[in-house]
Chains A and B, each alone.
Chain A
Amino acid sequence: MELFGTFTVRSGLAEMLKGGVIMDVTTPEQAKIAEDAGAVSVMALERVPADIRAEGGVARMTDPAIIEKIMDAVSIPVMAKVRIGHFVEARILEAIGVDYIDESEVLTPADDKYHINKWNFKVPFVCGAINLGEALRRIGEGAAMIRTKGEAGTGNVVEAVRHMRTINDEIAGLASLPQEELMTAAKNLGAPYELVKWVAKEKRLPVVNFSAGGIATPADAAMMMQLGADGVFVGSGIFKSENPAKRAQAIVQAVTHYNDPDILAKVSKSLGGAMPGLEISSIAKVNLLQFRGN
């Protein structure tokens, strides 16, 4: 009997994306540039996070017509974002055949208490997390892939680093606990006990974990890989830079050869200007995207 949308099938696509770069694009032309540069997937958007941050207003799911044009333009998988908790936007993206849904803090949340029950969908979901508890809650809700949130649209990697290190430290902490302490650890993390036990035993997340939010250079991408990311999302960092095609290719190579300083030096040369960055302390705390959803 054929089975569709099983956890193996949903998380399996994320496994195939590992060691790769997923790039934000807003037009079919940008999608083609990303594919030609070696992106493993594109995130179809109306506005990149830097513009959402600058323009303000309510950020919603992208017009499905725009997403479909991007799907027609490339052969690599296409992802798209829905607002946190907006299960109808998710049904719409599933209906048009998007390959992965990002339930994303970059858009304005539709539900301030609950996330989507992702077990109800055949299409797989990726969700953001700033710590282990949040990652395991999303997996408990059915997410088949996690990305650390970082701070989207800033071109500043510091939050991405903080979130990856936090998750690594929390996993190492769990792995050192005796069995009888795991229930209390689960309570303190706010995470499902069965997943906490699994992580303590296997010393890793049960699904693929990419890094996102602030990656702007090949060196940023390679650092996140060295810190343990399975791959990277680059949002505004490509198409807000001076030479998107060249920078995209360089970041792809940096993710494959993240442990090879000679190759990293070579691909980092003469890329033109990176996106202008933002100091995190210049953003009011209420405007930080990473604290949306929890």
Chain B
Amino acid sequence: MVIGVLALQGAFREHIRMLTSVGAVGVGVRLPEQLDGADGLIIPGGESTAIAKLMVEYGFPECIKAFAASGRPVFGTCAGLILLAEMVAGEKQQLLNLIDIDVRRNAYGRQVDSREVDVEVPAVGENPFRAVFIRAPVIERIGNGVGVLAQYRGRVVMARQENILVATFHPELTDDTRIHRYFLGMAAG
């Protein structure tokens, strides 16, 4: 299984490391044509403003929309979730619009408010998952077609709409591979 990891900026190496550790092949993607042949795509954490600018500059939005329309799965963590969202701070985003959620950036505050905490993610097993939130966004609203996979303090922190998976936290900063294996399961169909 080959998973493309958008490598414009951010924690793409950690996702590739996770994929390798569960027996998949992670490939850094810097130009749209490098996505050809991938069975799935991960959009990593990083700075969403910087990644969005580089995405537009090199023609990624159309290419990723077509990739998702083919049924192949896309997983966004933190900044990746923001880039996939339909709306940011109540306004429609002009980018990927692949999951019907409204997000607010840096919603927990500044870096000193970043935290790690155990959350329940029943879809990946009974044991709690160590969620690392770094200047994390919150999901303010989810659409009818969106399923909730995890919550923290009454807010959705992980969700799925058909082949689009998002998390506001960073499973790639832990050694727990369950969420990556769940995503590979989506890619296997």
Contacts and interface: CB of A to CB of B under 8 A. Distances in A.
- Residue of A1, A37, A99, A256 most packed against chain B (CB within 10 A): A256
- Residue of A19, A20, A39, A94 most packed against chain B (CB within 10 A): A19
B116 A3 contact: yes
A16 interface: yes
Interface string A12-49: 11011111100000000000000101111100000000
A123 B111 contact: yes
Given A38-B53, A256-B54, A19 B12 contact: yes
A117 interface: no
Interface string B108-120: 0111111111100
A19 B8 contact: yes
B50 A252 contact: yes
Interface string A238-280: 0000000000000011011100100000000000000000000
Interface in B132-159: 132, 134-135
Contacts of B53: 37-38, 252
Interface size class of A (residues with CB under 8 A): 35 or more
Interface size class of B (residues with CB under 8 A): 35 or more
B9 A19 contact: yes
B45 interface: yes
B178 interface: no
A17 B115 CA distance: 17
Interface string A132-159: 0000000000000000000000000000
B116 A9 contact: yes
Interface in A76-125: 76-77, 94, 97-100, 122-124
Interface in A42-79: 71, 75-77
A263 to B, nearest CB: 9
Interface string B148-189: 000000000000000000000010011000000000000000
Contacts of B116: 2-3, 6, 8-9
B13 interface: yes
A5 interface: yes
B105 interface: yes
A97 B46 CA distance: 20
Nearest to A96: B110
A4 B47 contact: no
B72 interface: no
Contacts of B170: 12
A17 B10 CA distance: 6
A9 to B, nearest CB: 5
Contact of A99 (B30, B110, B117): B110
A19 B10 contact: yes
A99 B47 CA distance: 13
Interface string B1-31: 0000001111111100000000000000011
24 contacts: A1-B118, A5-B112, A8-B174, A15-B14, A15-B45, A15-B173, A16-B10, A16-B46, A16-B79, A17-B46, A17-B47, A18-B9, A19-B9, A19-B12, A35-B49, A38-B49, A39-B50, A71-B110, A97-B112, A98-B111, A99-B135, A252-B53, A256-B30, A256-B54
Q: Can you list the 6 inter-chain pairs with the closest CB atoms, starting with the nearest?
A: A99-B111, A40-B47, A19-B9, A97-B110, A38-B50, A38-B53
